[in-house]
Amino acid sequence: MDGGSTCDQCGKTFTQRDNLKTHLCVHSGERPYKCDQCGKTFTVKDSLKTHLLIHSGERPYACDQCGKTYIRKSDLKVHQRTHAGEKPYGCDQCGKAFIRKDLLKIHQRTHTGERPHACDQCGKTFRHASTLTTHLRIHSGDRPYGCQQCEKSFTRLIDLKTHEHSHSGEKPYDCYHCGKSFTRTTDFNRHLRSHSGERPYECDQCGKTFTLRNNLKKHLRIHSGERPHECDQCGKTFTQKSQLKKHQLIHSGERPYGCDQCGKAFTEMSNLKSHLRIHSGQRPYHCEQCGRAFTQMNGLQAHLRIHSGQRPYHCEQCGKTFAHMNSLRVHIRIHSGERPYYCDKCGKTFPQLNGLQAHLRSHRGEKS
């Protein structure tokens, strides 16, 4: 040691010898101060004193603006910045600012790509130590946050708090634009972007932007070709779990969305909603050029090609183009020789359904 103020292991210097003594515990691993209630140990006596407040429930530092209380004075100071609008720690790469230095440090990893926290079981890496801690519960099966009303348990405290709103009916996040309220901050933040138009997550390969990070993550699979969700019955793979669940209904035959007017059932809620418009007569999608209306958006989009002359679907064998995908599918049967529509009376086959229907009239003696 140099004059009793420099650490001979890392070279860090201190103005007081007591501070050096405390610092040396970092290298030795010594934690001499132990909580007699839970056994947790600390390198500094003051840290133990602060920790004991958790057991006593004492929160001596109160915000004079909103009354929120804290165990540590430093936490109160950080909180007060939310009232003042103060964000003293700015990112020198993108200008984003933060109320705490540690939040800036974590944010900077989005620019550097650094993910210093690695799972020793599967190798997955994380920017945040807390995210790693939560991830490890997947391997251990630990779900420490239990609901006292229904006994459901969660790996994260925030998920428990969100779940508790389902019992209370509370929706604490109110949109100041339209008054709509939400139980989860993620839903609230996503909704706010519908007003601002903000799409902060951008694909670095094609430039497409998204309101949610998770949607960008799913989109990137289009470029990588990754299809991590596999059907255990037929082996078909999907980019999204929701797509796999929808596909599995084909095997189970389950059609959970039923029409209460005619009994017809569907695998997807969106298909039921479209079907209900047959009964209501509602046609909400209007062509601005000719006024024709449609029950579904894709019907309008296909119709607009009549006005634009666009024919985006082309045959790879002869180059012929089509306005509709279904028209291309029918055309391809000319090249493949496929005739999927079969007359059960005479065995004649047809490439199109309308050809079979016209043929059946000849059996019934009807004129086509």
Question: Average pLDDT for residues 58-71, to the nearest whole number?
Answer: 89
pLDDT bracket for residue 279 (50, 70, 90): very high
Question: Average pLDDT for residues 11-17, to the nearest whole number?
Answer: 86
The answer to whether 82 and 95 have CB atoms below 8 angstroms apart is no
Please report the pLDDT score of residue 368 as a whole number.
Answer: 56
> What residue ranges define each of the domains in the chain, with the CATH number in brackets?
199-252 (3.30.160.60), 257-308 (3.30.160.60), 313-364 (3.30.160.60)
Please report the pLDDT score of residue 366 as a whole number.
Answer: 73
Question: Does the structure show a pLDDT above 90 at 50?
Answer: no
Helices (runs of H) and strands (runs of E) counted in the chain: 13, 24
Please report the pLDDT score of residue 139 as a whole number.
Answer: 92
Question: Does the structure show a pLDDT above 50 at 1?
Answer: no
Please report the pLDDT score of residue 187 as a whole number.
Answer: 84
Portion of the chain with pLDDT greater than 90, in percent: 14
CA dihedral for 128, 129, 133, 138, sign (positive or negative)? positive
Portion of the chain with pLDDT greater than 70, in percent: 98
The answer to whether 87 and 97 have CB atoms below 8 angstroms apart is yes
pLDDT bracket for residue 4 (50, 70, 90): low
Please report the pLDDT score of residue 353 as a whole number.
Answer: 85
**205-226 pLDDT per residue, tens:** 888 888 888 888 888 888 888 8
pLDDT bracket for residue 9 (50, 70, 90): confident
Rounded CA gap, 105 and 118, in Å?
Answer: 18
Structure tokens at 155: 């790996």
Question: Average pLDDT for residues 255-280, to the nearest whole number?
Answer: 90
Coil, strand or helix: which one is 154? strand
Question: Average pLDDT for residues 326-350, to the nearest whole number?
Answer: 89
Rounded CA gap, 274 and 294, in Å?
Answer: 10
Question: Does the structure show a pLDDT above 80 at 367?
Answer: no
Please report the pLDDT score of residue 28 as a whole number.
Answer: 87
Question: Average pLDDT for residues 126-137, to the nearest whole number?
Answer: 88
Please report the pLDDT score of residue 8 as a whole number.
Answer: 87
**What burial class does residue 283 get, using C-beta atoms within 10 Å of its C-beta: 0-12 exposed, 13-18 middle, 19+ buried?**
middle
Please report the pLDDT score of residue 2 as a whole number.
Answer: 45
User: 161: closest CA among 192, 139, 186?
Assistant: 186
